[in-house]
């Protein structure tokens, strides 16, 4: 949790809000006395889990846009069907 004085918060509000959107909490102080806490709006559990993975570097969300030639691109080859086998094994294990 970061600490920000009221004057500092007013001067850099956009920066602090970006951090809150990313999941951080900000403690607001006035003359070194805590007066408020800015916290992110609670997200659904699944969304929070995705944010945690993203913060830890395990997940990178896409932009939502595909390259213009995406549907004309060659498909990756999987001659040994290793991807299908891995998915089938995970399903059998109950993942």
29: closest CA among 69, 1, 63?
A: 1
Flag whether pLDDT at 43 surpasses 70.
no
Ordered by start, the domain boundaries in the chain are: 2-38, 65-94
Cβ partners under 8 Å of residue 52, min gap 6: 23
23: closest CA among 4, 46, 43, 45?
A: 43
Enter the CATH code of domain 2-38: 3.40.1620
Average pLDDT over residues 46-50: 84
- 3 state SS of 26: strand
pLDDT per position as a tens digit, 51-92:
889 999 989 888 888 889 999 999 888 888 898 899 999 898
- Note the pLDDT of residue 67: 87
pTM: 0.45
Angstrom distance (rounded) from CA 51 to CA 36: 24
16: closest CA among 37, 31, 47?
A: 37
Angstrom distance (rounded) from CA 37 to CA 39: 6
């Amino acid at each position: 949790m970061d600490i920000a004085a009221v004057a500092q918060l007013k001067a850099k509000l956009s920066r602090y809000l970006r951090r809150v959107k990313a999941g951080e909490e900000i403690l607001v102080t006035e003359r070194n006395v805590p007066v408020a806490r800015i916290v992110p709006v609670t997200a659904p559990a699944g969304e929070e889990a995705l944010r945690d993975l993203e913060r830890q570097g395990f997940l990178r969300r896409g932009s939502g846009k595909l390259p213009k030639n995406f549907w004309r691109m060659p498909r990756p080859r999987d001659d040994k069907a290793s991807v299908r086998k891995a998915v089938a094994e995970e399903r059998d294990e109950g993942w």
